[in-house]
Amino acid sequence: MNVSEAIIAVRHRINDRDEVGLDNEEILSYLNSAIQYICQALATANAPVLVDDLTINSATATLPKNFIKLAGIFPTKITGNTIKLLDTPPQTIRYFTAYGWPDMNGEMPFEQDALNEVAVQMAAIYANNQQELDVSQDKALFGEFTTAILAAAGIGGNGA
């Protein structure tokens, strides 16, 4: 799914097909917020789709910008944006990474369309909320969808 398709999908959900309510830039910002939120949720649930690895060849290094947390414990000490190896380099760490922000012409970051669909759903709720519409029913539905999707992906909310 590319970003323009996602924006159209959001417009369908908020009944703004004619682009009279929100402009594309605003919807894109909601989509990006949703993507960041989903990444945090997936990292909390220890989802392997977010794991990346990094070989550090010096005693200290700068953390990657998209670093969320380490996947397990490694002999390292993190201070601010610096990671220091407690053992002799090189050492390879595994960590959860957040996806970058796509622009208007880009692709949605998740390979799985189910996750992109969650992002669209969330962006629609953000958009309706911005317009001061009642989103309580949307939130309830969204909670159920998210639980169902994570369960289908074999990812429990407790990291199991």
Partner 1 sequence: MSIAATKIVRHIRLQIDDFDEVKVSDYQILIFLNRALAAISTAVAARGLDFLTASQTYSGSSASTGANLPDDFQTLKEVTDGSTGYTLTPTYITKTPAAYEYKVMGEKIYCGAASYTLFYQKFIGPIDSLLTDSVAVPGYCLGLIVQTTVALMQGTTPDVVVQLINNIINTDFPGMTYDKQRGRVIENAG
Question: Which residue in 72, 90, 143, 157 binds partner 1 (CB under 8 A)?
Answer: 72
Work out whether 71 is an interface residue with partner 1 (CB under 8 A): yes
Question: Which residue in 17, 48, 106, 107 binds partner 1 (CB under 8 A)?
Answer: 48
Which helix (DSSP H) or strand (DSSP E) does residue 49 occupy? none
Work out whether 129 is an interface residue with partner 1 (CB under 8 A): no
Q: How far is the CB of 94 from partner 1 (least distance, A)?
A: 6
Q: Do 76 and 84 meet the contact criterion of CB atoms below 8 Å apart?
A: yes
Work out whether 115 is an interface residue with partner 1 (CB under 8 A): no
Q: How far is the CB of 10 from partner 1 (least distance, A)?
A: 31
Q: Please list, residue by residue across 91-102, b when 16 or more beta carbons sit within 10 angstroms of its beta carbon and e when fewer do.
A: bebebbbbbeeb
Work out whether 46 is an interface residue with partner 1 (CB under 8 A): yes
Question: Which residue in 18, 65, 73, 134 binds partner 1 (CB under 8 A)?
Answer: 73
* Residues between 76 and 95 with contacts to partner 1, criterion CB under 8 A: 94
Work out whether 54 is an interface residue with partner 1 (CB under 8 A): no
DSSP 8-state class, residue 59: S
Bridge-based pairing state of the strands 51-56 and 91-97: antiparallel
Question: Which residue in 1, 41, 51, 54 binds partner 1 (CB under 8 A)?
Answer: 51
Residues with Cβ within 8 Å of residue 132, at least 6 apart in sequence: none
Q: Do 51 and 98 meet the contact criterion of CB atoms below 8 Å apart?
A: no
Work out whether 47 is an interface residue with partner 1 (CB under 8 A): yes
Residues with Cβ within 8 Å of residue 122, at least 6 apart in sequence: 30, 33, 34, 37, 38, 142
Work out whether 99 is an interface residue with partner 1 (CB under 8 A): no
Kindly list the residues in this chain that would bind partner 1 in the complex (CB under 8 A).
Answer: 46-48, 51, 70-75, 94, 96, 159-160
